[in-house]
Every structure is written in structure tokens, then in C-alpha cells.
Amino acid sequence: MSNLVVVSGSSGVGKGTLIRALLERIANARLTVSDTTRVPRDEEVDGREYNFIGVSEFKKRIDEGCYIEWEHFFDTYYGTPKSEIENAKLGEFVILELDPKGALAIKHAYPQAALVFILPGSINQLIERLHIRGTESRQQVNDRVTRALEDLNFAGFFDYAIVNDDLGKAIEDLLSVFDLLHFRIANCGEIIARLRKEAGDIRDDCVH
């Protein structure tokens, strides 16, 4: 089984930067690519950050049951294609970058998924980051801050929380979470099976 890790938190909190740092450090990790109806930003490439598709195509895919979860916010559709998780390789870390509602939908579908909530150091810091990013209008920044406050209501349902007010520290904290995932009981199937087999062999030896 692969390890599903959802990195979530409000827009502008720095999830993307943290995940990029993580992907550089963890060899067997892959970030899923969602579908969206949003217009690509300057540096974004179709098929890399998102699959950029039209609204009618998105709705068609909803009807066809292509998504594990999908959301409509900021006048945009976002959805996680089922294929992104179903094609996961054994032992692979599959990372999803989703809004908090999407994260909970993943947990519902895959209870073994680990949910990590990224919090900003302060609301002012979040506003500053959204302004520096420069991809949203003033109104869009306001909408994202309003939503960030609503998103906080979901934090209690998550497994881990990381405060991103110091990027270096937040990267280290996120890596610690990944270290912990190695010790999840779900990842011990192989050793448990080996111990059982060994015990069986010992018993057989005693009988003969």
C-alpha cells in the first residue's frame, strides 16, 4: 500500500513551497496533479501543476465519476482524479495538496491517509504572502483571507499541524512528519508476516 499524505491549509500559506522542498528530499514521493478550471498562472504548465480544463469538460468528468473529491470555490472547480491514487506504486508516498474540505473527503475515502494542516504564523503574514504572490486582485485576496478563517474550523480533524512562519523550520517539521509515517503500523505488514512465518518455521522444527 502507498502512503497517502494530504498537505492542506489556506491558499497562500506556503503549501506549494513546502511540498517542492519535500519532493527534493524524499526519493519515493509523488505529488498528484488535480484538474482545475482556473486560468494557468505565468509559470504554470498544463499537466504539471494542474490539468487545466474547461468547465464543461470538468462537469462531464464529475458525471463520469472520475474524481475522488472535487470542490467549487473562488469561481473555480478543482478535483482529484481517481487515477492519481489508483495508479500509486507500492511503498510510494503520494502527496496531495488540497483545500481542507478536500483533505477530509480523502480521509473519508482512504482512512489511512495522513492529514497535515499548514498554518500561517499570523493573518497579516498570510495577507502579505498573497500580495507578494501578486496573482490575485485585492478582492481575491480578501476572499482568500475570509476562506482562510473558515478553513481553521477544519484544523481539529487533522492529524498534524505545522506553523509556517519560518520556512526552514517548517520544512524540517514536515520532514519529521514523514519520518513518523515510516513507523505507522500499516507499513509493518512485511515484518509482521516475516515474524509469523519465522515463528511457524521454529514450531515446525520443534515438532520434527
Q: Which residues bind ligand 5GP (CB under 6 A)?
A: 11, 15, 34, 38, 69, 71, 78-80, 97-99, 102
Pick between residue 136 and residue 187 the one whose CB is nearest to ligand 5GP.
136
> Looking at beta carbons, which residue is closest to ligand 5GP?
102
Using alpha carbons only, how large is the chain's radius of gyration in Å? 20
Residue 34 φ then ψ, to 5°: -85, 165
Cβ 31 to ligand 5GP shortest distance, Å: 11
Integer CA distances (angstroms), 157 to 23, 129, 135, in order: 25, 25, 30
> Is there a contact between 172 and 178 (Cβ–Cβ < 8 Å)?
no
Helices (runs of H) and strands (runs of E) counted in the chain: 8, 9
Pick between residue 98 and residue 141 the one whose CB is nearest to ligand 5GP.
98
User: Smallest Cα–Cα separation from 51: which of 74, 86, 73, 79?
Assistant: 79
Cβ 179 to ligand 5GP shortest distance, Å: 23
Cβ 185 to ligand 5GP shortest distance, Å: 28
Distance of alpha carbon 30 from alpha carbon 28, whole angstroms: 7
> Is there a contact between 46 and 52 (Cβ–Cβ < 8 Å)?
yes
Q: Please, what sign has the CA dihedral across residues 79, 17, 181, 121?
A: negative
Cβ 34 to ligand 5GP shortest distance, Å: 3
Pick between residue 66 and residue 90 the one whose CB is nearest to ligand 5GP.
66
Pick between residue 143 and residue 187 the one whose CB is nearest to ligand 5GP.
143
Cβ 98 to ligand 5GP shortest distance, Å: 4
Pick between residue 31 and residue 171 the one whose CB is nearest to ligand 5GP.
31
